[in-house]
């Protein structure tokens, strides 16, 4: 049973940086792509980044391009979201999630989609507050 545990959230000033971690256990991660989602209270959860099984394909929402970087470490079984130049509007809860990529997909290791319904397992969420 795949489990995801997030860490690294906190309070930061505008322009500052944080790195979120998502530690995975209980399954072979070579079958999963990982996404990061942002949710503000009272609003829909938004996909902001995804990294493929290979780690070589990434995708970002327009709002975070050039500021956030997603990566994965297969040795440590951990996915990261490096957040730089944080803005007040980045405040919210960040969830990591794992999507099991269908075995019939031609380029399975490069699959990278940010649709929430594609994801099967979710972390508990990490709170990020950007404030002066």
First to last CA, the chain: 41
CA distance 33 to 4: 13
120 pLDDT tier (thresholds 50, 70, 90): very high
Residue 103: per-residue pLDDT: 77
Q: Note the pLDDT tens digit of each residue in 9-62.
A: 999 999 999 999 999 999 999 999 999 999 999 999 999 999 999 999 999 999
pLDDT at site 104: 79
**Distances in whole angstroms, Cα of residue 88 to Cα of each of 40, 59, 106, 110:** 11, 22, 40, 32
């Amino acid at each position: 049973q795949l489990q995801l545990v997030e860490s690294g959230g906190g309070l930061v000033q505008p322009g500052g940086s944080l790195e979120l971690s998502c530690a995975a256990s209980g399954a072979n991660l070579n079958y999963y792509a990982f996404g990061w989602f942002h949710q503000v209270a009272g609003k829909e959860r938004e996909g902001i980044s995804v990294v493929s099984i290979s780690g070589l394909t990434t995708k970002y929402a327009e709002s975070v391009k050039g500021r956030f970087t997603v990566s994965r470490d297969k040795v440590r079984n951990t996915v990261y979201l490096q957040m730089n130049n944080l803005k007040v509007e980045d405040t919210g809860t960040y969830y990591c999630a794992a999507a099991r990529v269908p075995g019939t997909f031609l380029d399975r290791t490069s699959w990278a989609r940010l649709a929430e319904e594609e994801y099967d397992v979710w972390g508990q969420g990490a709170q990020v507050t950007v404030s002066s």
